[in-house]
């Protein structure tokens, strides 16, 4: 079986995912109207990544064959899609939401850095407990809840860093500490998975090979259960950490661009000009 045949066999084209992405795009266009800005590119990029995460071979391979594919999918849902959607969100939409009485208090509570950090990192860590992880693979409803929780708490997590409203974002130093703490937590989870026993997630140890591609994965691609699990842990450990590092660099660039300029120093010629004028008057 060729790589293209694997893609054809594993691309799901799930109607609910396709429809959900189209509704999200249509809703954004309805809100933004003709006032599309550069933010729109980030929002639509977020929709594209969301579609690829949930409706590409990555989803099929991750659900049945490869823990590393499932981990890559989770990282997209937690670390890539939410910040892109937030970066593309119009600031005017946030201001309108704040004026709605029943939304003001939840937005304020969930936007608190401690709450946002705890929900985002806690959800990521808890869902990788083997019992819960396996339950999501076996039960479709649990799997949907898992993915939705990643998206919702991921958005809450990234809000204090990339919120459209300036006053909702953390200052440079708190934002850096916020992201460093998240990177350390994600690294711990990745390290634990990388060095755990090979059957930490039994579903991938003996998968149900309905598509007949397991020989290709194991022999052709060289992804044994042990290598697959180590690769999944490394994905959370290293590429996941690089996402946080990129966000830290983004915070520093934003701080540099918005820093107040220093007071200009008057040129020496300007400083001597009044003395010359006074001398001319005395003469």
Q: Which tens digits make up the pLDDT trace of 249-279?
A: 999 998 888 765 555 555 555 444 454 444 4
**For residue 33, pLDDT beyond 50:** yes
| pLDDT of 265 | 53
Residue 280: band (very low, low, confident or very high) from pLDDT cuts 50, 70, 90: very low
For the residues of 111-154, what is the DSSP string, one character each?
A: TSHHHHHHHHHHHHHHTTSHHHHHHHHH-HHHHHHHHHHHHHHH
Task: Report CA 151 to chain centroid distance, whole Å.
Answer: 9
Give the Cα separation of 178 and 192 in Å (integer). 22
What per-residue string of b and e applies to 181-196 under the rule 16 or more CB within 10 Å gives b?
Answer: ebbebbbebbeebbee
What letter does residue 35 receive in the DSSP assignment? Answer: -
Give the lowest-confidence range in 2-6, 194-198, 209-213: 2-6
Residue 282's pLDDT is 45
User: What is the reported pLDDT for 263?
Assistant: 52
- In this structure, the dihedral spanned by the alpha carbons of residues 109, 42, 74 and 25, taken in order and rounded to 10 degrees, is 90
Give me the chain's average pLDDT, please: 87
SS (H, E, C) 68-103: HHHHHHHHHHHHHHHHHHHHHCCHHHHHHHHCCHHH
């Amino acid at each position: 079986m060729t790589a293209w045949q694997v893609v054809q066999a594993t691309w799901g084209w799930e109607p609910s995912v396709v429809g959900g992405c189209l509704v999200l795009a249509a809703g954004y266009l309805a809100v933004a109207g003709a006032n599309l800005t550069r933010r729109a590119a980030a929002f639509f990029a977020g929709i594209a990544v969301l579609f690829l995460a949930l409706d590409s071979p990555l989803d099929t391979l991750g659900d049945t064959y490869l823990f590393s594919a499932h981990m890559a999918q989770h990282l997209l849902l937690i670390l890539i899609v939410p910040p892109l959607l937030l970066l593309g969100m119009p600031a005017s939409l946030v201001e309108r939401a704040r004026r709605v009485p029943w939304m003001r208090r939840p937005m304020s509570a969930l936007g608190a850095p401690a709450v946002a950090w705890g929900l985002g990192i806690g959800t990521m860590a808890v869902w990788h407990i083997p019992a819960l992880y396996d339950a999501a693979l076996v039960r479709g409803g649990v799997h949907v809840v898992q993915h939705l929780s990643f998206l919702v708490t991921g958005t809450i997590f990234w809000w204090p860093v990339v919120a459209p409203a300036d006053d909702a974002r953390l200052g440079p130093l708190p934002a850096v500490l916020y992201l460093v703490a998240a990177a350390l937590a994600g690294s711990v989870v990745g390290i634990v998975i990388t060095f755990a026993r090979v059957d930490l997630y039994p579903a991938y140890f003996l998968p149900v090979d309905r598509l007949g591609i397991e020989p290709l994965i194991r022999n052709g691609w060289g992804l044994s259960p042990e290598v697959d699990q180590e690769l999944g842990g490394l994905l959370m450990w290293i590429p996941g950490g690089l996402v946080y590092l990129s966000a830290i660099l983004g915070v520093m660039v934003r701080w540099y661009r918005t820093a107040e300029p220093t007071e200009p120093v008057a040129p020496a010629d300007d400083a001597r000009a009044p003395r010359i004028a006074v001398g001319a008057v005395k003469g």
